[in-house]
Structure 1
Amino acid sequence: MARKRRRALTEDEQSLWNKVITQVESIESMPPLILSPQAKPAKRQKLDSSYEIKPFKLGAKVKVKPTASPKPPSFVDRPNQTSPNMDKRNFQRLLKGQLAIDATLDLHGLTAEQARMQLQIFVQNANRLGNRLILVITGKGNKKSVDEFNRPRSGILRSGVPEWLKTGPLSDMVLQVTQAHVKHGGGGAYYVYLRRQRGR
């Protein structure tokens, strides 16, 4: 039986075949990959135990580790160490209780309305006399309560005085309101530093 003659490759087929042979030869000529005997396989990182899935039974109660409840933010009525209204030296002396107090107003035992009226009259008179630093004693308040952020709520006068001083007719006379030094009442009193009168 006569053998079938092989069909000759076309130019495109021969070109493709030559490319295949070239790629095979380039792979065979590459040096073998040798691993260093000192190279150690990378250690698998141990997962945190909190991420491990522990065996459980259907219907069993899950034991959850109690987490520490976040502490409510502590409210400390501490004045800042700088003031945009006073020069640094005088403000530091004010915080340390080293400035001379020109007049003192004690609001103990007054209602909020009485205290507000007395404060207004006192500040206006002090300003007219050219006083610069007055001490307003409010007391810390007897009722202990907390606000919506679980911070200690101060007494009515203690919280009201700073608001009354920075609003209304007194705001133009007052330069700085700061919690008093411990020797002058601490959290139960305020230094009120008045603006200098024009022409004085």
Structure 2
Amino acid sequence: MAKRVLGDDEAALWRAFVHDVAPLRTGRRSALAPAKPACKAETSAPVSRPVGGKASAMMTVRLVEMPTVQRPRVRPAPHVGVRAPGLDDTQWRRLSRGQMRVDAKLDLHGYIVQEAFEEFHRFMQRSRVMGWRCVEIVTGLGSGVRGGSIRRELPHWLHRADIAPMVLGVVHSHQGNQGALRLLLRKKR
């Protein structure tokens, strides 16, 4: 099958469409996608489109380059037992060995998942206000093969956009007990 060649108007429209698309891997640049212009400029490209049933009518498309929006960088919450960047050796060692004093403890035994989440969220907000440094959350092991539903949901709650920036480190309080987590929280600035 022969490769279709784009006309000038189609190539201009394609370049305008992909002007802000970044490649997944760096490599050679496509012949149709030249480098971005240094200045923001309006470009007009005549495009052949049927208007009102007539194929010969021309329509002008005005393309304006939009400024890029800087999104705030959200720090992801660390995974259980994985040392997060920015956590020094001493603090990590004390947290992972269980030598850090626990400021508060939340026991989620007996809650349904929605109630447990609401309690967890209130607890995390309170820990921010109180300036607690190390907290423990007890979910229990659960009765299922994969553990309880609260225990399975807790890592997802820790990765929420409002909770993740607060958490600096997460470990199991004891290697033999997978039903409780200790959280090292960031200092309030």
Relative to the length of structure 2, the TM-score reads 0.54
Q: Does the 8 A contact of 1:162 with 1:177 survive in 2?
A: no
Deviation of the 1:101 alpha carbon: 0.2
- The 3 A distance-change label for structure 1 pair 140 and 115 is same
Letter paired with 1:125: R
Which residue number corresponds to residue 170 of structure 1? 163
Relative to the length of structure 1, the TM-score reads 0.51
Q: How does 1:48-197 map to 2 (within 5 A)?
A: 79-80=81-82, 82-144=83-145, 153-182=146-175, 186-197=177-188
- The 3 A distance-change label for structure 1 pair 154 and 175 is same
Q: How does 1:9-28 map to 2 (within 5 A)?
A: none
Deviation of the 1:109 alpha carbon: 0.6
- The 3 A distance-change label for structure 1 pair 156 and 177 is same
Residues of 2 paired with 1:161 and 1:128: CA distance? Answer: 21
- The 3 A distance-change label for structure 1 pair 78 and 176 is closer
Residues of 2 paired with 1:108 and 1:92: CA distance? Answer: 28
Name structure 1 gaps, 5 residues minimum.
1-76, 145-152
- Secondary structure of 1:164's aligned partner: helix
> Which has more strand, going by share of residues?
2
Deviation of the 1:78 alpha carbon: 7.5
Deviation of the 1:79 alpha carbon: 2.3
- The 3 A distance-change label for structure 1 pair 78 and 125 is closer
Residues of 1 paired with 2:89 and 2:156: CA distance? Answer: 24
- Secondary structure of 2:137's aligned partner: strand
Q: Does the 8 A contact of 1:166 with 1:174 survive in 2?
A: no
Q: Does the 8 A contact of 2:81 with 2:170 survive in 1?
A: no
Which residue number corresponds to residue 62 of structure 1? none
- Secondary structure of 1:192's aligned partner: strand
- Secondary structure of 1:116's aligned partner: helix
Aligned CA-pair RMSD: 1.9
Q: Does the 8 A contact of 2:95 with 2:184 survive in 1?
A: no
Percent identity, please. 34
Residues of 1 paired with 2:186 and 2:98: CA distance? Answer: 19
Residues of 1 paired with 2:126 and 2:172: CA distance? Answer: 22
Q: Does the 8 A contact of 1:136 with 1:191 survive in 2?
A: yes
- Secondary structure of 1:122's aligned partner: helix
- The 3 A distance-change label for structure 1 pair 174 and 79 is closer
- Secondary structure of 2:162's aligned partner: helix
Letter paired with 1:167: R
